[in-house]
Amino acid sequence: MRILVNSEQVDVDTSNLREILEQLGYQPEDIVVARNLEFIPRTQWDDCIVNEQDSLDILAAMFGG
């Protein structure tokens, strides 16, 4: 299935948000995720279904100064 991740097309093997994040190598404790511009709370990642051509914006915390 093809989706957009941070504006880049990516092919993934699952429609489950948590599994997609794991497949792409993201660490859950370090990121926040929006699907189609809607923030998805971490507590809902296991139940969140991503569809073909959905857009995920994944933001990571930056440390340092």
Whether residue 65 is contained in a domain is answered as: no
Any bridge partners for residue 9, and if so which?
4
pLDDT at 64: 74
CA-based diameter of the chain, in Å?
A: 39
pLDDT at 65: 62
The token duo for 4 is: 């957009």
Whether residue 19 is contained in a domain is answered as: yes
The token duo for 33 is: 């995720």
What total of structural domains would you count in the chain? 1
Whether residue 46 is contained in a domain is answered as: yes
Question: Could you tell me if 45 and 23 are in contact, meaning their C-beta atoms sit under 8 angstroms apart?
Answer: no
Tens-digit pLDDT string for the chain (65 aa)? 999 999 999 999 999 999 999 999 998 888 999 999 999 999 999 999 999 999 999 998 777 76
10 three-state secondary structure: strand
Task: Give me the CATH number covering residue 42.
Answer: 3.10.20.30
